Chains A and B, each alone.
Chain A
């Protein structure tokens, strides 16, 4: 499997990752439904290094998805700026980032096109961007699916495979575009514990090979510590950075990590921070923002 041009290895996986630094500076987002200003994000700053596996946690409705939408270019920002490497995504003169294949989102409920097979789904990006011909794109898609352990399922439709496989194929569909950062919005939320653990190990394996920057939103603190390099705890609305937890558990990680002492301590540390904010959110009686 190890080859020099293997398609799942592109971000300096041999040495230090070089692409995908995400800088968020003084980000403010004010929603304005019917003239009532709601501040969703209040001067939030983050510095995510190239190739970082970054986990975002915080109480429900705190503005995690608002951050993701701003990075992906789905929604505008009010002020502040976001850089990807040296490129200004959005800033004072450019409230909404242009959508692009350097930042690809994997959605909560999955967004594989049901009318395309897994291979056709994966081949979609390079094909529409005109990077590869249809034939080459499909060949590469099959190759990458095989690398992700989905080799025999390339010809199946998303409805024919399990949700875990579909989610894995969706990550492959994102990676074929060689994005600088992968944006994941609670991708495993609806899964049972067993499937989730399999998905975690599969994602870690992909991450260890690609070293692509990952921006991962979750509610699950154990998931956050198990997967991430750093865990960014956000405050309740308006969203600010409350705390950064450095996870210094060495990679590659496997499930034995879950029962280790350092893991337990890190989860506790994170839980204390999140719990405080969750109580504040509860007392404010905030409903979850969609």
Chain B
């Protein structure tokens, strides 16, 4: 006979030691996702090869390259240095803008939340600037900043900045007054109040802002790359890669660029989720 505690303990340890890959492969959700993608690709292949479904003609679908053509185009591109240079360029711009937006946006949002005077002064202009779409800033920033690179980074920064600030502000302002009272009655200083209550209380909103901001950053960087034309060399970022393929008339390569952006965005938000999970261990429960 083995007692319950003896059995349950080794299982708990074994689970934490099992590798990430094996945990993923063992999950039903993972395989369901794989099947969904495969089925989607098959339908796409059939649709764009035949141009009709059950006797009904599909308008324009014939123009879409089938996934097999995309795969061929992709395998060619994978060998080329320019393709990876595009990845690098876009990631660099996204990260520059995104990190700058975090570094400036989080303290700015917290200041808006905790200081009435700061809020009175800075919130109105912030609210006037916020509705302006980041892409509307592109012409002005092309003129204002000395290099294309800087103007793209600036526009990506704006894309994430407003979302981050609004989330931080909202999160910090909705911390329950009970926590603040509990803290004060236990004799905490303003410093403790800020570091131990307001900051951790705002963390969930900070990560929500980061996830949404990261999505917007990718949208903005691609559009900005298309408009500004990228760099002078081959690698002008993934947005320029798509634009270039369009100018060159290579349809499969356009789709390659699109899917690349999808993967890049997915990777970025996965990283944010992972950081969020380790920064907020108490949130695993919800």
The chain A residues found within 8 Å of chain B, CB to CB, are 72-74, 99-101, 103-105, 107, 109, 111, 113-116, 124-125, 128-129, 157-160, 177
Contact B185 A128 (CB under 8 A): no
Complex CA–CA separation, A127 to B286 (angstroms) = 28
What does DSSP make chain A's interface, helix, strand, loop or mixed? Answer: loop
1/0 per residue B182-209: CB within 8 Å of A?
A: 1111111100100011001101000000
Q: Check B285–A160 contact: CB distance below 8 A.
A: yes
Kindly identify which residue among B196, B203, B285, B286 contacts A128, using a CB–CB cutoff of 8 Å. Answer: B196
Q: Residue among B182, B201, B285 with the most chain A CB within 10 A?
A: B182
Sampled A-B contacts (23; CB under 8 Å): A73-B185, A74-B181, A99-B185, A100-B185, A101-B185, A101-B186, A101-B187, A103-B185, A104-B185, A107-B178, A111-B182, A113-B179, A113-B182, A113-B197, A114-B282, A124-B188, A125-B187, A128-B189, A128-B192, A129-B186, A129-B187, A159-B286, A177-B187
Tell which of B176, B186, B281 touches A125, judged by Cβ atoms closer than 8 Å: B186
In the complex, the answer to whether B186 meets A115 with C-beta atoms within 8 Å is no
Knowing A101-B186, A103-B185, A128-B186 are in contact, say whether A111-B282 is a contact too (CB < 8 A): no
> Judging by beta carbons under 8 Å apart, are A72 and B282 in contact?
no
> A166 vs B180: C-alpha distance in the bound complex, in angstroms?
18
Bound form: Cα–Cα A116–B285 in Å = 13
Q: Does any Cβ of A come within 8 Å of B71's Cβ?
A: no
Q: Is B114 an interface residue (CB 8 A)?
A: no
In the assembled complex, which residues on chain B have CB atoms less than 8 Å from the CB atom of A100?
185, 187
Min distance, Cβ B132 to any Cβ of chain A, angstroms: 35
Docked Cα-Cα span, A111 to B282, in Å, equals 15
A115, B280: Cβ atoms under 8 Å? yes
Complex CA distance for A109 and B282, rounded to whole angstroms? 19
Question: Which residues on A sit within 8 Å (CB–CB) of B201?
Answer: 113, 115
B196 touches A124 (CB 8 A): yes
For B183, what are the chain A residues with a Cβ–Cβ distance below 8 Å?
Answer: 124, 128
**Residues of A close to B196: CB separation below 8 A:** 113, 124, 128
Q: A115 touching B200 by the CB < 8 A rule?
A: yes
The interface residues of chain B lying within 8 Å CB-to-CB of A101 are 185-187
Q: Quick check: B182 and A115 within 8 Å, CB to CB?
A: no
CB-based contact A105/B280 at 8 Å? no
Query: B189: which A residues are within 8 A, CB to CB?
Result: 128
Nearest-neighbor residue (CB-CB) of B179 within chain A? A111
Residues of A within 8 A of B286 (CB): 159
- Assembled-state Cα–Cα distance A100/B186 (Å): 6
Are B187 and A109 interface neighbours, CB within 8 A?
no
Not counting A124-B188, A128-B183, a sample of 17 additional A-B residue pairs whose C-beta atoms are within 8 angstroms of each other reads A99-B184, A99-B185, A100-B187, A101-B185, A101-B186, A103-B185, A107-B178, A107-B181, A111-B178, A115-B200, A124-B186, A124-B196, A128-B192, A157-B281, A157-B282, A158-B282, A159-B286
